[in-house]
A and B are shown apart, each in its own frame.
Chain A
Amino acid sequence: MSLKNRWQEFKVGLTPRIKEWRFMLKRMRGSSLAMAGLIIILGYVAMAILAPVIAPPQSSDPFAIPLDKEIRVLQNEQPTPPTFRHIFGTTQYQFDLFYGCIWGSITAFRIGVFVVAISLLVGLLVGTASAYYGGILDETLMRFTDIIIAFPGLILAMALVLAWQQPTLEISISLSLVMISVMVSFVLIFVHPDRRLLAMNQLVLLLGLASSFFFPISISIPLNNLDKVLVAITIVGWPGYARVIRGEVLRIKNEDYVEASRASGSSDIRTIMHHILPNSIYPLLIVATLDIGSIVLSAAALSFIGIGAPEYYADWGQLISRSRFLISDPTLMVRNIHTFLIPGLFISTFVVGWNLLGDALRDVLDPMLRRR
């Protein structure tokens, strides 16, 4: 089929889906809270995209908040109130609040999206395999997730940051290949393996073993404390998604159209990709949207304690952390209220925006699902 035909097909196939989306948006427009959520998030997206324009970076690392060296000479410790030069004022040690807040939105998105995306992916894989194949695989994977859920996330994050002193993440590719192939073969015991998949798996295993003996490859990724915190939150975050999707897949697995798909000759993978996932993903999206807000909040809390973003980093939690010294003195607190109120407002509106969006998504998707 020629390329032009393919494009035509795609466009025509899109029309009914666009109709569905328009119906969904119409519903959203009805609720003003939903619109508020959408506008807030879009505002933050705009802020993040336009950050280099609104607050031009003044050093090689754009996330380093610029220090005002002139005022620093005069009064290092005391934050300054908003002036013409520093629109939101400065924090202790003269970090510019405006710059910090604007670039902090990029950090916030990075935190939220990174953690949620990876947790989602891992949770999806584990949950779907567990629910679709059932039996011992299900039992094993679910016990494994139970163990992980037992870990308190924030405390794990703290422990990880403190124990992991190296500023880099070393991944040995050879060993990872070996481990991945071992895990895949574990899964394949319970699944009806396709010969090609088995062969590929053996190949990967041999490659990994060979390379680890003869020429070990490893890559090191530089990580700052914030990234380590994110890794920790991801590790404890994915079981939640695994559980949600497992529930959905269990429900959909028994529907007639899934069986009809098998009767038509679909392989397991095809059934999962074409039927089960598209129908089960919506609740997951709602949970993910709501989670972005709460993860940003957790990361901010950790940065506030001092574990998390480094001192100079443009992160809202970090900015509030600069105001810690105000706790002892109420008058000082009132005078320098801008140092924690402004970043605090940024955090709260960000979280509220995502929550409203998640709620709106749930309200909209429910009738859409019911309409079917």
Chain B
Amino acid sequence: MSQLLELRDLKKHFPIYGGVLKRKVASVKAVDGVSLSVTKGECFGLVGESGCGKTTLGKTVLRLLKPDAGNIFFDVPRDIVSEIDALGKKDPKSRRLRRLREQYDVATYGGRDLQFLRRKMQIVYQDPTTSLDPRMLVKDIVAEPLMAQGVAKGEEAKKMVMEILGRVGMTDRALYRFPHEFSGGQRQRIAIARALVSRPEFVILDEPTSAVDVSVRAQLLNLFADLQKEFGLTYMFISHDLGIVECISHRVAIMYVGKLVEYSSTEEIFRRPLHPYSQALIASFPVPDPNQRKERAPLKGEVPSPVNPPVGCRFHPRCPMAMDICKRKEPELANAGNEHYVACFAVNQESDK
């Protein structure tokens, strides 16, 4: 089965310049080797705490940032992906590999290819107040993707804008207003309309309900579910709110300091979290039921800085199951049964080799 999106060992580092000569002294390893695949039509949840790199990952997939290493395959047939994989291992410098990558690997796209890609991949930001230009009318904001990509102009664009606004639950009267005349929930709907107006296939939702009231959250989440069915969208839902992710995603991945530590179907992850970090994360989440009170904090210490992550497994300083090997080698994602991938030596029972 062909996947809509495949990431192979994606890396994005931000350099830090210092010293008198402004050389690169260190780099923030925001995303440090992430591989995953998203099936068409599913909602893929990406969970993690601050600094884990989930937002950076989303923006890199969309090519708002240029990746430093790795491949991004969007809607590429399986055989070509395998060929690129094989060539990468066997003969990384071959010309055929380079040509294939130029054609199929989003990570290498530039200029017109990127422009074309924008029609298919879109993003909805976290804060609707800052993601809409305060000086533009709603009509122009939502029509912008159409105008920028050259899909439609003038009267035709206006029709498409009105149509999509209707689908997200806004009336035509919103067209000639400024964003600040609307509430947070309505602004987020405008942002959603903007993302969907050019009928993309893949939408990255970067914490779309964090900046919104609780009562509006449910309305927006229902809207996301409806739109997914109606337009056949595929979502990558980035969030730190485990409660919502549990309800809306089909599969969930958990990130820690730039790497994936576990991913599987939602049920598996929440019912049987295997990685110690996942277990701690899920246990830390405050359950809205006073009958289930936990008296002990599951995790000690602070999240390490992505500039200088711990050597070996990044979680080992805080891990209750840390072994000797964890301090030296980085664990790889392995299938622990039932399509449940974990990157942990203790779980995968690898001993000192």
Contact = CB atoms under 8 A, between A and B. Distances in A.
Touching in the complex, A and B, CB below 8 A?
yes
A261 interface: yes
Contacts of B130: 255-257
Contact of B194 (A16, A264, A266): A264
Contacts of A257: 130-134
Given A12-B176, A16-B177, A255-B130, A264 B135 contact: no
Given A13-B139, A256-B127, A279-B135, A262 B64 contact: yes
A256 B119 contact: no
Contacts of B137: 13, 16
A275 B133 contact: yes
Interface stretch (B142-150, B255-263, B271-279): B142-150
A263 B144 contact: no
A-B pairs with lowest CB-CB distance, top 9: A265-B118, A372-B134, A264-B145, A256-B131, A265-B148, A266-B148, A256-B130, A265-B149, A1-B154
Interface of A: 1, 5-6, 9, 12-13, 15-16, 20, 192, 255-257, 259-267, 270, 274-275, 278-279, 371-372
12 contacts: A1-B155, A13-B137, A13-B139, A256-B131, A257-B130, A259-B59, A261-B148, A263-B62, A263-B118, A264-B122, A266-B148, A270-B148
Most chain B CB inside 10 Å of its own CB: which residue of A16, A192, A257: A257
B210 interface: no
Nearest to B134: A372
B123 interface: yes
B24 interface: no
Main secondary structure of the interface of A (DSSP, over half): helix
B176 to A, nearest CB: 5
A336 B136 CA distance: 58
Contacts of A372: 134-135, 178-180
B144 A261 contact: yes
B125 interface: yes
A6 B149 CA distance: 21
Contact of B180 (A259, A263, A266, A371): A371
Highest count of chain B CB atoms <10 Å: which of A12, A15, A256, A261? A256
B115 interface: yes
Nearest to B128: A256
Interface residues of B, number: 35
A16 B178 contact: yes
Given A263-B62, A265-B145, 20 more contacts: A1-B155, A9-B158, A13-B139, A13-B176, A192-B111, A256-B127, A256-B130, A260-B123, A260-B125, A261-B133, A261-B148, A263-B64, A263-B118, A264-B118, A264-B194, A264-B198, A266-B148, A274-B144, A275-B133, A372-B134
Contacts of B155: 1, 5
A263 B122 contact: yes
Name the residue in B119, B123, B131, B139 with the highest tally of chain A Cβ atoms < 10 Å from its Cβ: B131
Contacts of B176: 12-13, 15-16
Interface in B5-64: 59, 62, 64
A270 B148 CA distance: 8
A262 B130 CA distance: 15
B131 A260 contact: yes
Nearest to A261: B144
Nearest to B130: A256
Contact of B115 (A12, A13, A265): A265
A255 B137 CA distance: 18
Nearest to A282: B135
Nearest to A262: B64
